[in-house]
Structure 1
Amino acid sequence: MKQKKLIRLTTVPISLDKLLEGQLRFMNDHFEVIAISGDEQYLKKITQREGVRYRTLELTRKITPLNDLIAVYKLYRILRDEQPEIIHTHTPKAGIVGMLAGKMARVPLRLHTVAGLPLLETSGLKRIVLNTVERLTYKCATGVYPNAFGLSKIIKDLQFAPHNKLKVIGNGSSNGIDTAYFNPEDFSLEKSNELKQKLGIPQQDFIFVFVGRLVSDKGINELITAFINLAQSESKVSLVLVGPLETDLDPLAPQTLSAIEDHPKIFKLGYQDDVRPYYAFAKALCFPSYREGFPNVVLQAGAMGLPSIVTDINGCNEIVEDGYNGLIIPPKNAEALQKAMEKLLHNESLRSKMSKVSRSKITDNYERKVVHNAILSEYQRLLPNE
């Protein structure tokens, strides 16, 4: 029997690489999977690893109406050529382009995963435009999948889509977490001490770690402010930043950039293929983001046995229970963040208790194989029986 075709579309290939790692390979056992994104060289590398075909479609993350219309037409041509049973999109731009082209090409199942709403941090004309785009995306979709229950509630409250079109799969998360890969037992104290020495971090320091893009809406301005204030009274603390500095869409404040470059206890490591060693030598994750879908970083840190300081936003407040496996603070509040950092720094028994339950919280609820099977079951439920 000829396999049904499944197309997975993202705006940029790093989303296929990092946010959906392993999922394309899993689905390829049940469908003929075709990955579509930009940057052909990077895309080819990902699809070789996953064992799937690819088609290239260049998309911009910014609002570029002419380029976006051209992309819709190009994708329409690809869909008419491939004739898939399912197109499943991730990220906002891929969502609108994919759902429009999918409807035009009469793809039977047009599914869009929502992993955060950037529009929540906008206002004025830009907010009106983004609201319209989001509504149109959901209107063209046959199914909309927020990857967190809090996100689903926001979409319902904003009346972007009818309730019967929305569904959270499993406990949330777009891809789950490979807890065999993110396992603290694979990293010895000796290895961690060697890495600290290599980076110039004092061995006795309490290390806070942040993993993600260094942009304003990840709460980096507040994190740097909180850490600088903390370090004025606490000499044995360090902050490690793991992730790319992005200066185009959502730049950091000039004083934040200066502090990152100049402060002797802030270590900017840039993008890292393997983030596990940095979780392994840290004592706590700081993740003061303004908005998230269902953050992989908090899942990773939990699987590595770290307590997390997160903001009270959807996704984060579903993974972290305040006082149990981490601390929850208000967003955009450097003072509250500093107090939470002080609490974990000084209360070793609390930190130890949180660390012990952090991993089991993830393995019990967000194991990758469970998430993959739940998504597959949804595909199979939607496809007509033959």
Structure 2
Amino acid sequence: MENAAEKGGRILIVEGHPKYFVSHRLPWARAAREAGYEIHVTALKTGDGDLVREEGFRYHDLAVQDRGKNPGAEIRFLYRLYRLLRALQPDLVHFITLRSVLYGALPVRLAGVLAVLNSVTGLGFLFSENAWSVRALRWGIMQFLRAALRHPNQITTFQNPDDAEIFVSRGVVPEEQTAVTPGSGVDPSRFGYVHETAIENGQVPIVMLPTRLLWHKGVEVFVDAAQHLQRDGVDARFVIVGDTDPENPGAVPKAQIEAWADDGPVEWWGREASSEMPSVLQQAHVVCLPSHYREGVPKVLIEAASCGRPIVTTDVPGCREIVSHEETGFLVNPKDAKGLARRIQELLNNSDLRRKMGRNGRSRVENNFTAAQVADTIVECYDQLLAEAP
């Protein structure tokens, strides 16, 4: 521990999946390392640990079986997490995603960890659906969190104020122990502002949905809007970028995506395209995300705005943080394919409006949604928690 103490402290980051640490959290981890912290990483799901090691961070393999397989696997993971905490003796543990927060609440108390940072990156289907089974699960989880999140030295961060208000108003966490970060942020130099390819030169405009292919991300709503516009004679390419997630119960089956692409309403660029998002987004004329899901702040919308693309998304928590209605894009009602189509057509018919909204979106990102700003907030939380640790 002497070496870690000299550097400023040892931090264990518990992520949902290693690939999300690399795609979303690297600016935080790098900033903390530059500030003198010793960073270790683990994750709830298996695979891709080498992606973290390639970035120069120490990765600990804990998960031997992905979540949801059986209760015994879940309990064994909790025990391995507790053993890692005892062996590593971190000064602070940073749980990222609500699931990580749930898994870690008991092990950190048992292991005597002095400081905890919880990052709730969105409330997902748990606060989006109202089926009785989901309501019962939501009630049970909130009861557990109300009892579990009582660490004497903790901060809980949220990506939008709506999520923070739910936790505070329901007595899960005190307001003085909360902070709001603008999503995961983006590097504006990587997602650079690029003028759209001129439609006037004969190119067919591209309307793009870049997302994980989950039903609650509004994939079917996007397809319905595309079909509606094509029936009305609108000449545009409707492109879906992203891959499906077979482990997620809300995943759109690959066969369904292929059927839509074969029938013609949309093109599917797939996972390969999503690995080069700056150049992919720069090909779009309009970016859509008709999500009816409790997002944190969708990273892809921050990236699209950074590239100077107007956005049509839904008026739900998270999405409305990045899109200012009629300034950087349009907000429509969830599950409203006709409303989505109407706003898409409005943008396709008005290049001046597209470019104005694109410029406004870029300014909004530069002022409020950079990865550096988020990293500063996270490191400040680390500093505060360790300064107050006994």
Pair in the same fold by TM > 0.5: yes
Q: Write the distance in 2 (CA, Å) between the matches of 1:275 and 1:156.
A: 36
Alignment of 1:183-332 (within 5 A): 183-185=192-194, 204-248=203-247, 249-252=249-252, 257=257, 259-264=259-264, 266-271=266-271, 272-291=274-293, 292-332=295-335
What is aligned with 1:198? none
| Partners of 1:103 and 1:140 within 8 A in 2 | no
Would the alpha carbon gap of residues 165 and 64 (structure 1) be closer, same or farther in structure 2, given more than 3 Å must change?
farther
Would the alpha carbon gap of residues 78 and 326 (structure 1) be closer, same or farther in structure 2, given more than 3 Å must change?
same
Give the secondary-structure state (helix, strand or coil) at the position aligned to 1:117: strand
For 1:166-212, what per-residue CA distance to the aligned partner results, in whole angstroms no more than 9, with x for missing partners?
3214xx22x31100100034x8959x9xxxxxxxxx96211111111
Match of 2:361 among 358, 361, 370: 358
After TM superposition, give the deviation of residue 259 of structure 1 in Å: 4.8
Query: 5+ unaligned residues in a row in structure 1: which ranges?
Result: 193-201
What is aligned with 1:78? 84
Give the secondary-structure state (helix, strand or coil) at the position aligned to 1:281: coil
Q: Write the distance in 2 (CA, Å) between the matches of 1:358 and 1:84.
A: 40
**Is the aligned partner of 1:181 residue 2:190?**
yes
Would the alpha carbon gap of residues 138 and 26 (structure 1) be closer, same or farther in structure 2, given more than 3 Å must change?
farther
Letter in 1 for 2:164: S
After TM superposition, give the deviation of residue 250 of structure 1 in Å: 0.5
| Partners of 1:207 and 1:284 within 8 A in 2 | yes
Give the secondary-structure state (helix, strand or coil) at the position aligned to 1:379: helix
After TM superposition, give the deviation of residue 20 of structure 1 in Å: 1.1
Q: Write the distance in 1 (CA, Å) between the matches of 2:176 and 2:322.
A: 25
Give the percent of matched residue pairs that are identical in Structure 1 and Structure 2: 23
After TM superposition, give the deviation of residue 98 of structure 1 in Å: 1.9
Would the alpha carbon gap of residues 31 and 110 (structure 1) be closer, same or farther in structure 2, given more than 3 Å must change?
same
Would the alpha carbon gap of residues 317 and 238 (structure 1) be closer, same or farther in structure 2, given more than 3 Å must change?
same
Cα root mean square deviation, aligned: 2.6
After TM superposition, give the deviation of residue 136 of structure 1 in Å: 2.7
After TM superposition, give the deviation of residue 23 of structure 1 in Å: 2.4
| Partners of 1:146 and 1:293 within 8 A in 2 | yes
Structure 1 consecutive aligned stretches of length 4 or more whose deviation exceeds 4 Å: 38-41, 187-190, 253-256
| Partners of 2:22 and 2:51 within 8 A in 1 | no
| Partners of 1:96 and 1:134 within 8 A in 2 | no
Would the alpha carbon gap of residues 140 and 2 (structure 1) be closer, same or farther in structure 2, given more than 3 Å must change?
farther
After TM superposition, give the deviation of residue 46 of structure 1 in Å: 2.1
What is aligned with 1:8? 13
After TM superposition, give the deviation of residue 238 of structure 1 in Å: 0.8
| Partners of 2:27 and 2:372 within 8 A in 1 | no
| Partners of 1:214 and 1:252 within 8 A in 2 | yes
Would the alpha carbon gap of residues 138 and 273 (structure 1) be closer, same or farther in structure 2, given more than 3 Å must change?
farther
What is aligned with 1:166? 178
Pairs aligned (count):
371
What is aligned with 2:114? 108
> TM-score, normalising length from structure 2?
0.87
| Partners of 1:213 and 1:246 within 8 A in 2 | yes
Q: Write the distance in 1 (CA, Å) between the matches of 2:196 and 2:313.
A: 27
After TM superposition, give the deviation of residue 82 of structure 1 in Å: 0.6
